[in-house]
Amino acid sequence: MSPRTKEPRRILAPNPSALTGAGTNSFLIGRDDVAVIDPGPDDDAHLGAIVAAAKEGGGRITHILVTHAHRDHSAGAARLAAMTGAPVMAFGDAVSGRSAVMERLAATGMVAGGEGLDLGFRPDILLRDEETVETEEWQIRALHLPGHCGGHLCFLLDDTLFCGDIVMAWSSTLISPPDGDLIDYFRSLERISALAPARLLPAHGDPVTAPIDRIAELVAHRQARTAQILAALRERPGNAQALARRIYDVSPGLLPAATRNVLSHLLALTTLGAVKTHGEIAAETTFEAL
């Protein structure tokens, strides 16, 4: 990172919730040519704060990078592009990157739950895995790391990974089929570990300063949840919502997100041959341990 680039600047969006924590972190990279990572919600005050921060010292926004098309990350992208003339860059639209299994699930009528797909999102420029974006000040490498969302990108700047929603310090990632995919999530965590970045800057919450340790915690958490689900299925078959009620202690408002997380485990276990279904896989499908 050049001396002019210095530390990334964070602008916190005013959209706190149980799923977003304190809100969405929008990051600014560079001082002259400024890249914005995740412009966040379409909020006047937040977009104004981003533009004002970029103008400090005479800078201008030249690139708008979006980790994934959930409204808390991407909804402000089009207006920020109109305000600045900068192109919006992402892996694709809100449903890009789904696996064949998830495409079949989506065809049953299931739509994403939890954070909300930004179905109107259309990037100006598509970024593929390992593609670089650069100016005279900085070079950013895009990495396709799905799991939370099929088209999820992370952005590597020197030894710092802007990791979107794939890793957070304060919470585990919501994996909500047909966009969230637990098998992809494990693969992405393994790839991040192999990269061995010095720190992660998530789109929600504080920096992760010990990435390998945090990833190990997240893997152990998912493995423990899988064991819970299998134990519950051995007692009696059930669908994702029934299992979520049995194994989670959450408020009614968070039960839909818990149900989607359970479903992601059930789909992975089905793929691995550890459980079977009664009928075609859909939201209400009953699963049984083998």
- 9-209 and 219-289, same CATH topology: no
User: CA 234, 240, 243: angle at the middle one, nearest 5?
Assistant: 50
Domain-wise residue ranges, the chain? 9-209, 219-289
* Whole-number Å distance between alpha carbons of 132 and 139: 7
Write the pLDDT tens digit of every residue in 183-220. 999 999 999 999 999 999 999 999 999 999 999 999 99
Residues 9-209, CATH architecture: 4-Layer Sandwich (3.60)
Segment among 90-99, 151-160, 255-264 with least mean pLDDT:
255-264
Assess whether pLDDT exceeds 90 at residue 126: yes
* pTM of the model as a whole: 0.93
SS3 172: coil
* pLDDT 10s digits, 1-52: 444 456 899 999 999 998 899 999 999 999 999 999 999 999 999 999 999 9
Helices (H), 34-144: 44-55, 71-74, 77-84, 100-107
Query: What CATH number does the domain located at 219-289 have?
Result: 1.10.10.10
